[in-house]
């Protein structure tokens, strides 16, 4: 079983739709979580950190459920420019950071 699992998609949604991605992690020692966005043939870029209390950045909301060991990302009012692969990341900070990426979920926003 992979340490971080995501549905690879693709998720094809119309502009303006709300879409949610889930990610599960198996290592209970994971302490910090992030969502990265990766455009085709580009490097990943940090989208947002994920906190237990939930956090929101504009149209994006991230949630962490430690009991069930999953992380979610909600995108409201989808834009064409949101089309990308969204990578879930778990970080174990036992001294130095061990970072584990999920395989990514591909989102395609359709006009």
Partner 1 sequence: DAGVTQSPTHLIKTRGQQVTLRCSPKSGHDTVSWYQQALGQGPQFIFQYYEEEERQRGNFPDRFSGHQFPNYSSELNVNALLLGDSALYLCASNRVMNTEAFFGQGTRLTVV
Q: Are strands 96-101 and 70-75 parallel, antiparallel or unpaired?
A: unpaired
Beta strand pairing status for 4-6 and 105-110? unpaired
In the bound state with partner 1, the residue whose beta carbon lies nearer, of 39 and 77, is 39
CB of 93 to partner 1, least distance (A): 7
Binding site for partner 1 (CB under 8 A): 4, 6, 8, 32, 34, 42-46, 49, 87, 91, 93, 95-104
**For residues 32 and 69, which CB has a smaller minimum distance to partner 1 in the complex?**
32
Report in angstroms how near the CB of residue 86 gets to partner 1 at its nearest.
10
CB closer to partner 1, 76 vs 98: 98
Cis before residue 10, ω within 30 degrees of 0?
A: yes
| Of 58 and 95, CB closest to partner 1 | 95
Min dist CB 31 to partner 1, Å, is: 9
Q: Of 4, 11, 1, 2, which Cα lies nearest the Cα of 85?
A: 11
Q: How far is the CB of 70 from partner 1 (least distance, A)?
A: 17
């Amino acid at each position: 079983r992979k340490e971080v699992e995501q549905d690879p998609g693709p998720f094809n949604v119309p502009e303006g739709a709300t879409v949610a991605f889930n990610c599960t992690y198996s290592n209970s020692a994971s302490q910090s979580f992030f969502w990265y966005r990766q455009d085709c043939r580009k490097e990943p870029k940090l989208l947002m950190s994920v906190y237990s209390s939930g956090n929101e950045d504009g149209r994006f909301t991230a949630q962490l459920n430690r009991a069930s060991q999953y992380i979610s990302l909600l995108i409201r009012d989808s834009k064409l420019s949101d089309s990308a692969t969204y990578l879930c990341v778990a970080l174990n900070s036992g001294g130095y950071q061990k970072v584990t990426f999920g395989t990514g979920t591909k989102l395609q926003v359709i006009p």
